[in-house]
Amino acid sequence: MKTVLYGICLLSVVNLSCSRGAGKREPAPVPVRVFVVHPDTLSRYLYLTGTLEAAREALVYARVSERLKEIRVKLGQRVRAGELLGRQEGGVFWQGVQQARAALQAAETQFQLAEEEYRRSQRLFKQGALTRRQYDESSAHYQQARAAWQQAQAALHQAEEQFRNTELRAPIGGVVASIYFELNDLVPAGQPVFRLVNPGLMKAWL
């Protein structure tokens, strides 16, 4: 009888333990996301509306009032500083150069003769074979001939400069952006004929 009663008690304890264990639930699993971390570059863009212009540009002006005789470049062509872009009619100026050269040659001849005569007068005057008045006249003639020769040199340089003014050369290296006149157009002095831009350096107006 004691054995049966012990068995019933043991069974009751087992059932109670099972019923308590069945009431406890395992916690729900927490989802986990795994990322691989590595260095990267973040880019941010700002979109604006504006105007893009060359930071350096130059205008080539006509220095004489003559017709445009020659255009050596085209729009978009790249040129070097000092390169000849075009030329105005220079026939009148070339005639001036020829006349100035002839005048200089004549003045130089007269100066050489006057110099020889003056040196001769110096020798004769020292020897007492020439009066003071004659010596002074020779010296004055020499001074006048030298002044005329120097003036002829200056006139030639001026004539050559006027002829060079018919040349239209690039003041900077860059690209031909504008040509304001056509061939054989009369271009007044002081008017721009070409516009050059340097695309290597740009500036933006926002």
Query: What are the residue boundaries of the structural domains of the chain, listed by start?
Result: 58-90+170-197, 91-165
**Share above pLDDT 90 across residues of the chain, in percent, rounded to a whole number:** 69
Q: What CATH fold (topology level) applies to the domain 58-90+170-197?
A: OB fold (Dihydrolipoamide Acetyltransferase, E2P) (2.40.50)
Question: Considering all CA atoms of the chain, what is the largest pairwise distance in Å, rounded to the nearest integer?
Answer: 186
Q: Express each pLDDT in 19-33 by its tens digit.
A: 554 455 666 776 767
Q: Which pLDDT band, with edges at 50, 70 and 90, does 11 fall under?
A: very low
Describe the chain by its helix, strand, coil percentages, rounded to 5: 45, 25, 30
- CATH superfamily entry for domain 91-165: Helix hairpin bin (1.10.287.470)
Per-residue tokens: 35: 């990322």
Least confident of 43-52, 76-85, 155-164, 177-186: 43-52
Report strand pairing: 174-179 vs 78-79: antiparallel
pTM over 0.95: no
Tell me the Cα Rg of the chain.
51
